[in-house]
């Protein structure tokens, strides 16, 4: 049995956590303030003077937040009385107990995962406390822009998908696996396009993702695609329809924009190829880590796809809407996804969500933040197994599709991490490397 290493924290001066708390988070907060300010006229047109007052109040709360962060003040309890407020405040007490009474929980001294999640919840609070602009998504502009700027890549991906679907019934297992593997990789590299690593700077997909897959293969440090495939195949059950398919694949979504399109394309392929009968998507219930998918982003993206004048993109959009209407696809946003917990706490702290995930034949976790939560955002040795780092989390066979953007990576071969560090010191944080990492709790 391995001991559990400490959480990553900005306490380690010079670490990526430290640089994030010192530089990236204040930059994100400044952008949020600018965005609200830029929308002042819109608030005035919609709500009159009350809108202007709300804009001022929200900006003042956010400036205070930035000051608390930059001067390493204690983390404060939330006051907005949302259904999850108590749970956040209890989590703060839990952190305080873990840290001991010597020093308060604070931005530079406490776990990076916790304080970073808390920042996004405080941004939400600043807006919530200021109706009528409570529903304003400060990250919306960036997310829609990132979708629009990826339009060429979206077109080539949808065209590719429609090409496969045209003769999908004739495909034997081998070519089906090849397409599956390609679309997993497209979804994997789609995770490069998040707006949080770039602190909200434009970060869209300009070229066809399919053209670069081969040259990107050496950057996939762990590739468990074959194991994921076996899990899907072994979950196939005969149906009344005459098809054999797995019952359900869940996708825990990450970013809106191009990444979401890659996930929708993968989901479409899984259903139309008969590999799965249903897809459950899990998104965020509040704006989160700049570009994460909310219900609004999810619906907006599908509507945009339907409305484009590109034949295959709009065909995909119409099909996706139909899947939703017919219940083959559904979207959930459990509050646990926007809390700071390590996923090993899910069974105890969100048992209903854990039970939901247990109903899946496979759960795909997209992106870096989900990887950090899967592995507890801890300072693990690179050779520790994924299973060990999951610390008992395993509601169903699961796979992380993640480009590396934080100082954490497990499940590597002895010497692999050291070699990478000598070749490219920023390998863990540049988003250039990736993993497709699988764990099957049923086979352990």
Task: Kindly state the smallest distance separating residue 254's Cβ from Mg ion, in Å.
Answer: 4
Selected from 229, 289, 298, 329, the binder of ligand F6P by CB under 6 A is 289
Which positions from 357 through 416 interact with Mg ion, judged by CB under 5 A?
none
Q: Is 254 in the site for Mg ion (CB under 5 A)?
A: yes
Q: Which does 106 bind (CB under 5 to 8 A by kind): Mg ion, ligand F6P, none?
A: none
Task: Kindly state the smallest distance separating residue 431's Cβ from ligand F6P, in Å.
Answer: 7
Q: Is 39 in the site for ligand F6P (CB under 6 A)?
A: no
Q: What is the 3-state secondary structure (H, E, C) of the chain?
A: CCCCCCECECCCCCCHHHHHHHHHHHHHHHHHHHHHHHCHHHHHHHHCHHHHHHHHHHHHHHHHHHHHHHCCCECCCCCCCCCCHHHHHHHHHHHHHHHCCCCCCECCCCEHHHHHHHHHHHHHHHHHCCCCCCCCCCCHHHHHHHHHHCHHHHHHHHHHHHHHHHCHHHCCHHHHHHHHHHHHHHHHHHHHHCCCCCCCCCCCCCCCHHHHHHHHHHHEEEECHHHHHHHHHHCCEECCCCCEEEEEEEEECCECCHHHHHHHHHHHHHHHCCCEEEEEEECECCCCCCCECEHHHHHHHHHHHHHCCCHHHHHHHHHHHHHHHCCCEEEECCHHHHCCCCHHHHHHHCHHHHHHHHCCCEEEEEHHHHHHHHCCCECCCCCCCHHHHHCCCCCCCEEEEEECCCCCCCCCCCCHHHHHHHHCCCCCCCCCCEEEEEECHHHC
Q: Which does 191 bind (CB under 5 to 8 A by kind): Mg ion, ligand F6P, none?
A: ligand F6P
Identify which of residues 51 and 111 has a Cβ nearer to ligand F6P in the complex. Answer: 111
Task: Kindly state the smallest distance separating residue 191's Cβ from ligand F6P, in Å.
Answer: 5
Selected from 406, 412, 434, 435, the binder of ligand F6P by CB under 6 A is 406
Task: Kindly state the smallest distance separating residue 194's Cβ from Mg ion, in Å.
Answer: 4
Per CB under 5 A, the segment of 18-26, 76-84, 202-210, 292-300 that binds Mg ion is 292-300
Per CB under 6 A, the segment of 130-138, 163-171, 366-374, 435-443 that binds ligand F6P is 366-374
Q: Which does 406 bind (CB under 5 to 8 A by kind): Mg ion, ligand F6P, none?
A: ligand F6P
Would you tell me which residues interact with ligand F6P (CB under 6 A)?
A: 20, 24, 116, 191, 194, 196-197, 254-255, 289, 367-369, 372, 405-406
């Amino acid at each position: 049995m391995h001991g559990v290493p400490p959480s990553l924290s900005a306490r380690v001066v010079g670490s990526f956590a430290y640089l994030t708390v010192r530089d990236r988070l204040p930059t994100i907060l400044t952008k949020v303030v600018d965005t609200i300010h830029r929308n002042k006229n819109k608030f005035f047109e919609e709500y009159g003077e009350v809108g202007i007052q709300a804009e001022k109040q929200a900006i003042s709360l956010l400036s205070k937040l930035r000051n608390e962060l930059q001067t390493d003040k204690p983390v404060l309890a939330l006051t907005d009385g949302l259904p999850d407020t108590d749970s956040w405040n209890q989590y703060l007490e839990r952190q305080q107990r873990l840290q001991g009474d010597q020093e308060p929980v604070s931005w530079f001294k406490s776990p990076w995962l916790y304080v970073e999640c808390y920042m996004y919840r405080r941004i939400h609070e600043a807006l919530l406390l200021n109706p009528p602009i409570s529903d304003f998504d400060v990250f919306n502009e960036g997310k829609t822009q990132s979708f629009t700027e990826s339009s060429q890549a979206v077109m080539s991906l949808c065209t590719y998908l429609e090409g496969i679907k045209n003769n999908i019934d004739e495909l034997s297992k081998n070519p089906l696996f090849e397409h599956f593997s390609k679309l997993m990789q497209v979804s994997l590299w789609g995770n490069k396009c998040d707006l949080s690593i770039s602190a909200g700077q434009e970060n869209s997909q300009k070229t066809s993702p399919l053209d670069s897959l081969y040259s990107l293969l050496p950057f996939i440090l762990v590739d468990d695609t074959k194991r994921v495939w076996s899990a899907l195949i072994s979950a196939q059950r005969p149906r009344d329809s005459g098809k054999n398919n797995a019952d359900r694949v869940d996708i825990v979504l990450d970013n809106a924009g191009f990444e979401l399109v890659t996930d929708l394309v993968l989901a479409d392929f899984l259903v139309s190829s008969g590999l799965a009968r249903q897809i459950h998507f899990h998104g965020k219930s509040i704006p989160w880590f700049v570009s994460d998918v909310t219900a609004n982003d999810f619906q907006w993206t599908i509507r945009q796809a339907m409305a484009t004048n590109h034949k295959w993109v709009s065909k995909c959009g119409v099909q996706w809407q139909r899947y939703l209407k017919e219940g083959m696809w559904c979207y959930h946003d459990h509050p646990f996804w926007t809390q700071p917990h390590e996923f090993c706490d899910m069974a105890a702290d969100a048992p209903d969500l854990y039970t939901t995930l247990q109903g899946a034949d496979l759960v795909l976790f997209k992106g870096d933040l989900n990887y950090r939560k899967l592995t507890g955002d801890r300072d693990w040795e690179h050779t520790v197994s994924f299973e060990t780092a999951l610390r008992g989390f395993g509601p169903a066979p699961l796979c992380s599709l993640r480009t590396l953007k934080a100082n954490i990576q497990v499940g590597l071969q002895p010497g692999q991490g050291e070699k990478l560090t000598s070749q490219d010191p920023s390998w863990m944080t540049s988003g250039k490397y990736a993993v497709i990492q699988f764990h099957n709790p049923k086979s352990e």
